[in-house]
Structure 1
Amino acid sequence: MKLYVGERLAELARQRGLSDDYVHELRVVASVLPFRVNDYVVDELIDWSTAPADPIFLLTFPHRDMLPRNHFESIAELVRVNASRTVLNKATAEVRRALNPHPAGQIEDNTPLLNRHPVLGLQHKYHETVLVFPSQGQTCHSYCGYCFRWAQFVDSEIRQALSDPAIMTEYLYSHPEVTDILFTGGDPMIMRTEVIRRWVEPLLSDSLDHVTTLRFGTKALSYWPARFTVGPDSDNLLRLFEQCIAKGRHVAVMAHFSHPRELQTATVEKAIERIRGTGAIIRAQAPLAAHVNDDAKTWSQLWQQLVVAGVIPYYMFIERDTGAKTFFEVPLARALDIYTEAISRVSGLARTARGPVMSAHVGKVVIDGAPRIRGERVFSLRLLQARDAGLVGQQFFARYDPDAYWLDELEPALGTEIPAGLGFPRSKVQGDIRASTPA
């Protein structure tokens, strides 16, 4: 695999005909946010004849609008005058802090305790699911510009990483309510199979039989499908999947497909076929991202192609309120329109895709629609998953706002009392903040 980062990324842009102005902007943005592409993305996925407008290019390369204007201009001036590394590092650290690097309480509220000490490298937000961040898997084959975990790659001080599988198993022994483990990062598929095995095999013991599902969150099928097709290590990985299934575990590869083009190479077709041949299930999710997939036709094509390939459409997410959101975010009202039109174009087999969904502090909030009730147009929202399991399925209403991008920009409607922790402006929340629906 050939990787392009830093000046190699800038040189690649020059070689492919991008302007000097663009290369300057690339340097500015890449000094704040992480960018990394490999030769598969460069040679197989990006249509260079349309760059910089190509959607895969915009997904993986810097754009000046990925930073708010004031932040871009302040860093650009430092780059222009060739400021010292110390000065530039201090300035970029300040910008990163302003970009909400750990949204939805990832560190402070999701990190569990073991023997009264926090375990940085595990997250336990939902009752039945624990996220595991193996230290060896905290990078990716290529980076997505929309990544909500971008801080993993640039902030080593509070990086989520666990080095010892024994800590994971010790925690699980004391939490029999946990049924699902999600290996995430970064990307666990960046690890060699012998390393993955050290994390997975302890979960196959009879003493941990309450752990019935093993999930692997990965972009490898999109950005490096050869991980599943080439060489003995790919064969060993597939045998490990088969071993897990033989022990009665459900194996789910949680893939990220952002655009139909990511499904259209011979390598990814072969990779999907090989994974499915083990008995593992592949589910696909991605955020709705401006400039990349913000139209109904793209999503309906993506979902149809996934079904044909044997992959289950899973989630259409709203771009999180972090990092490069100023470039990728789409208003909630438009997101709902895109989802509604796209889902209407596909058969029932593709309507497993749930959306548009905000993965917020309280949980996963889906926008079910925008009905008119008692003469007022509202967003109808519902909790698909929640930090407080008692809130799952709760419906509530917010005033329809065509300019809102995230949950905390909405106001309660119809006298609805809002479940605690939803992020609505506190001054606008009514009552004792208990969940209910109007009569």
Structure 2
Amino acid sequence: MTLNVLAGDMAHLPDSMSIAGIGVVSGYGWGREFLWQGLMGGKPAARLYPGYGRGRDQHAWVGRIPDGGDPAFGTGLFGRAVHAAATEAIADGQARGWRSEGRTVGLVHAFTLGDVADWRDFYRRDDGHRRSRDYLRMLPSTPISVVMQEFGFHGPAMNVSAACSSGNVGLLTAKMWRDAGLVDDVLCVTTDLSATPDMLEHFVAVGAAIADSDPFTACRPFQEGTLGFTMAEASVALLLTDAVELAYARVLGGAMTNDAFHVVSVDPTHAQIIACVERALANAGIDAADVAYYNAHGTGTRQCDGAERDVMATVFDDRPAIAALKPLTGHCQGACAAIEVAAIALSYERGIAASAPIVAPAHPRLLDGPTPMLDGPTLKLSMGMGGNNAAVVLARV
């Protein structure tokens, strides 16, 4: 292994945190086991929904979160989903021996647009008028404040946003807090419920999302004939701590860069994406040859596929196995990295690497559905609009 050399002459192997609790609300249902069963069954979370398209009489393939959750935590699904994911992750950690008493616990919430549906209704249905208590529920600070109050956490609490790399950015923010001595533990929650007809319309218009084809026809990362992604939703919570022995996986390190190239398109040189991956490996204290799995951003768009094939060839010499999940989970936008990190953590615990089935001629290292888990770290890359790149390195406990 390599050591990451910091400023001065001191060589330091970065500290790490463990994922000790997982909570998931997704297109598969309310709970992490619904996600796992969906991944193992190889069935996409998306289904055909009516009311999409300009005439609102069209159908579209979307991985929407089904109705559910406790109405006490929001008139819409956003606040309910945040609360459900958070409480499931905390309960999971407690079942593994985690206790918050005497510890400084922070909460970082990563998201993109917030409660899209409820804000839309606020203006269109309520004409900007609503009871103050219902209005306050829509503010980005409210869902995390509710969780902090319910569990008596007193560490820092904030929202971060970095487009579709937000999940990885949330994890790295949590790790920076711990490395800086601000917290003992962090609850990292990532939420995106923006798969509404008006949002999907514009993702289709820019050539990224595919609405009228089933997920396996549309989204084929690292395979021939890929068209783009199926839009989806999720809220995912990860409890990060080193205070339990029976954790899922360790977060060894990571890095973030920005292309500084275009608000949507990927820099065709891929220089900053490659730099992000290389810096993440250095920060984690490992070499590219140590990595067993490359968990792809895998949107299935032409630009993303080209960039990630370049990363695999340039950084890894096409050695690691490639896992791609978006044909199954859909592209959960700001929550996509988090739901894939949750899948990685569950894969380490259960000894099965999750990946979508291959449906067309593919990269030789792409996994064809669930396979027995190999030893070795996983590098998880995410890329977001605005040139936001973020990579994290995870490993078995």
TM-score by length of 1: 0.28
Query: Greater helix share, 1 or 2?
Result: 1
Larger Rg: 1
More strand by share: 2
Higher relative contact order (CA 8 A, sep 6+): 2
